[in-house]
């Protein structure tokens, strides 16, 4: 085994509960960048071959 | 019972943004990625088949990469601990990310390689994130050939598990009725209860019988099998990834022991999957064979209760490492699902995190709806490996998701194989031999060339490793002392001279890469 296991029993502590949507703020920059691009072009070029 | 050794083979989405080709850019993207990964080719023979093309094994950790239907595919080395599996999943994603960065440095201005760890492009094309778990041949036969309620039990577990294992996606595919958001990316692509197929007519339970545990007289003793689970989504939240494989280890162990509660079987598993996946508020109930009605969370709670009773009898001892911690985390996560505590669940479960991110965007951008292309793009970018646009990584960097392994463990998993499976010996042999002396590699056998051998003696030596929990560091480290030559190590490992491929198999490797049933 190679793993350092972080305490996994109950990783969410009460003081970690965010009053607001901190995770949304964290992703703000990435979201804004994505929304400033051309979604249609992204989706068109993202078309994948069906896999397994 | 046998240790519940884990593996995974995961296809990534890949394309070149800014470049339009009539047939898409998946082919060139996947090949560029593969060329940027350093590894030892699995065979000196080349093929033109589109499935399993260009396979390379990694001397660093014993895993491998290849191309499958124009997707870069990551195959994780065998691990015993579910926690280790999380570390190797993260490590292999890092390998793919490094390759992506390298390729992007070479691309012309205006083009960018995108790599996404998801299971659907949102346009009715799905690709797999398969998990494998070891079981006895007897257990396999019970599931697929003898006891229908074992199969129904496994199906009910997998289907209800999407409340934990789903990555979530916007909309519906394959002409299914429209929906804003659903838990499972694969649900729209599951068409039957059981199927051997993986690219069409996919089943909740996949019956591919390819043990990768030796062939014929070289097979493992006791006879082993590999449950190939094609049902799950790729997950990025570590808690979800851990539970996805940890819960599966436990349920398969219970099945192997004959501890199967047929009362948990769903009356119409496919209908249940559709209802559960399209109900992010978790209120949908599905009918059991016994007439009861259960939400997915209620059903999961009953599986957990069964597992706890099994654990109390010592059933997981030596079979599922860390079972107590897995049970506790499974219990705590279900408790939060029962309480609809999405604030804290967004730290653990991808579908909850993704849904809340997208709901937040909709609240701030009233001009957008669930049907907007921008939302569908963000759905895809959630799983982008690029840290500059991948929504998940931004949230993780901000400390807003829970970790179950630390960065040191992930880095170690990039550089070292696990010590408690055959992956350890595979990695050591790859390092010792170097690419020029490797003729052929598969998970359960390796063939090398010894230039010093002269006719009439064959230059080829084959090492067989039919038991995934054998050939560990403890078993074989003594052979790899300083200065040990490949010839000496191979002899110590019992390598045999005779070639194990017929001429026909060398010409058509698919004969042995696709299970034929003769392996048994």
Domains along the sequence of chain B with CATH: 6-412 (3.30.590), 419-513 (no CATH)
Q: Which residue has the tokens 């065979």?
A: B43
Looking at chain B, the number of H-run helices and the number of E-run strands are: 19, 18
Q: Which residue blocks in B49-161 are alpha helix, DSSP H?
A: 82-106, 137-141, 148-160
Q: Is the pLDDT of residue A19 over 50?
A: no
The answer to whether B131 touches B140, Cβ cutoff 8 Å, is: no
The C-alpha of A1 sits at a distance from chain B's nearest C-alpha, in angstroms, of 5
Lowest mean pLDDT among A5-19, B189-203, B370-384, B433-447: A5-19
Kindly state whether A12 is in contact with chain B, defined as any CB-CB distance less than 8 angstroms.
yes
Distance of alpha carbon A11 from alpha carbon A8, whole angstroms: 5
Minimum-distance CB partner of B128 among A31, A42, A51: A51
Kindly state whether A36 is in contact with chain B, defined as any CB-CB distance less than 8 angstroms.
no
* Helix (H), strand (E), coil (C) string for B309-353: HHHHCCCCCCCCCCHHHHHHHHHHHHHHHHCCCHHHHCCCCHHHH
Give the Cβ contact number of residue B137 at 10 Å.
18
Q: Is the pLDDT of residue B10 over 80?
A: yes
Q: Determine whether B138 is an active site residue.
A: no
Distance of alpha carbon B316 from alpha carbon B287, whole angstroms: 30
The confidence score (pLDDT) of residue B44 equals 74
Neighbouring-strand partners of residue B285: B295
The confidence score (pLDDT) of residue B185 equals 98
The C-alpha of B109 sits at a distance from chain A's nearest C-alpha, in angstroms, of 16
Give the Cβ contact number of residue B366 at 10 Å.
7
Q: How many CA atoms lie within 13 A of B92 on its CB side?
A: 32
| B497 confidence band (pLDDT: 50, 70, 90) | confident
The answer to whether B174 touches B380, Cβ cutoff 8 Å, is: no
Determine, for residues A11 and B397 on separate chains, whether the beta-carbon distance falls below 8 Å. no
The mean pLDDT of B60-69, rounded to a whole number, is: 97
The helix or strand, by DSSP H or E, that contains position B255, with its residue range, turns out to be: helix B238-256
The confidence score (pLDDT) of residue A18 equals 52
- From chain B, the residues in CB contact with A39 under 8 A are 372-374, 376-377
Pick the catalytic residue from B9, B23, B52, B68: B68
Distance of alpha carbon B133 from alpha carbon B253, whole angstroms: 10
Distance of alpha carbon B143 from alpha carbon B138, whole angstroms: 9
| B502 confidence band (pLDDT: 50, 70, 90) | very low
The answer to whether B153 touches B266, Cβ cutoff 8 Å, is: no
The answer to whether B463 touches B445, Cβ cutoff 8 Å, is: yes
Minimum-distance CB partner of B24 among A5, A18, A47: A47
| B455 confidence band (pLDDT: 50, 70, 90) | confident
Is the ipTM of this structure higher than 0.85?
A: yes
pLDDT tens for B269-286 read 999 999 999 999 999 999
Extents of the domains making up chain A:
20-45
Kindly state whether A3 is in contact with chain B, defined as any CB-CB distance less than 8 angstroms.
yes
Tokens of residue B462, six digits? 């084959």
- From chain A, the residues in CB contact with B343 under 8 A are 17-18
Report the candidate in B392, B468, B420 with the shortest Cα–Cα distance to residue B211.
Answer: B468
Mean pLDDT computed over every residue of chain B: 94
- For B171, B455, B487, B518, the CA distances from B437, given in Å and listed in that order, are 50, 18, 11, 29
The mean pLDDT of B60-80, rounded to a whole number, is: 98
């Amino acid at each position: 085994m190679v793993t350092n296991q972080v305490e996994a029993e109950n990783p969410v502590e009460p003081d970690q509960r965010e009053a607001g949507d901190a995770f949304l703020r964290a992703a703000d920059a990435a979201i804004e960048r994505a929304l400033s691009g051309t979604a249609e072009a992204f989706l068109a070029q993202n078309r994948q071959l069906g896999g397994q | 019972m046998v240790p519940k050794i884990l593996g995974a083979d995961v296809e990534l989405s890949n394309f070149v943004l800014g470049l339009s080709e009539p047939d898409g850019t998946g082919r060139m993207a996947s090949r560029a990625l593969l060329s940027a990964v350093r590894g030892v080719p699995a065979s000196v023979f080349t093929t033109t088949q589109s499935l399993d093309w260009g396979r390379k094994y990694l001397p660093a950790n014993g895993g491998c990469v290849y191309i499958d239907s124009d997707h870069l595919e990551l195959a994780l080395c065998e691990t015993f601990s579910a926690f280790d599996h999380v570390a190797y999943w993260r490590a292999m994603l890092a390998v793919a990310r490094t390759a992506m960065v390298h390729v992007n440095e070479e691309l012309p201005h205006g083009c960018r390689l995108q790599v996404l760890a998801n299971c659907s492009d949102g346009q009715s094309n799905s690709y797999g994130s398969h998990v494998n778990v070891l079981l006895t041949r007897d257990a396999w036969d019970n599931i697929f050939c003898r006891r229908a309620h074992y199969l129904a039990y496994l199906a009910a577990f997998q289907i209800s598990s999407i409340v934990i294992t789903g990555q979530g996606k916007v909309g519906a595919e394959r002409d299914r009725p429209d929906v804003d958001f659903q838990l499972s990316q694969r649900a729209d692509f599951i068409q039957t209860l059981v199927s051997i197929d993986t690219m069409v007519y996919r089943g909740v339970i996949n019956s591919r019988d390819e043990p990768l545990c030796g062939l014929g007289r070289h097979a493992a003793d006791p006879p082993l099998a590999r449950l190939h689970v094609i049902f799950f989504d790729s997950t990025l939240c570590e808690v979800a990834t851990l539970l996805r494989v940890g819960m599966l280890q436990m349920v398969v162990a219970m099945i192997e022991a004959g501890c199967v509660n047929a009362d948990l079987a769903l009356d119409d598993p496919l209908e249940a999957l559709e209802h559960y996946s399209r109900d992010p508020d978790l209120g949908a109930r599905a009918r059991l064979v016994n007439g009861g009605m259960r939400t997915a969370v209620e059903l999961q709670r009953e599986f957990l209760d069964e597992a706890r009773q099994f654990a109390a009898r010592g059933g997981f001892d030596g079979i599922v490492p860390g079972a107590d911690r897995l049970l506790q985390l499974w219990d705590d996560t279900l408790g939060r699902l029962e309480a609809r505590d999405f604030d804290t669940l967004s730290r653990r479960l991808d579908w909850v995190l993704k849904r809340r991110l997208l709901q937040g965007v909709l609240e701030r951008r009233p001009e957008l709806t669930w049907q907007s292309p921008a939302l569908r793009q963000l759905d895809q970018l959630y799983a982008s490996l690029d840290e500059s646009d991948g929504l998940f990584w931004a949230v993780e960097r901000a400390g807003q998701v829970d970790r179950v392994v630390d960065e040191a463990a992930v880095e170690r998993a990039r550089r070292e194989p696990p010590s408690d499976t055959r992956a350890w010996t595979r990695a050591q042999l790859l390092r010792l031999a170097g690419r020029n002396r490797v003729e052929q590699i598969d998970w359960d056998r390796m063939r090398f060339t010894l230039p010093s051998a002269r006719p009439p003696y064959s230059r080829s030596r084959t090492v067989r490793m039919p038991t995934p929990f054998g050939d560990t560091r403890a078993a074989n480290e003594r052979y790899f002392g300083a200065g040990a030559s490949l010839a000496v190590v191979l002899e110590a490992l019992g390598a045999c001279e005779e070639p194990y491929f017929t001429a026909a198999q060398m010409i058509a490797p698919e004969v042995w890469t696709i299970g034929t049933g003769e392996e048994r």
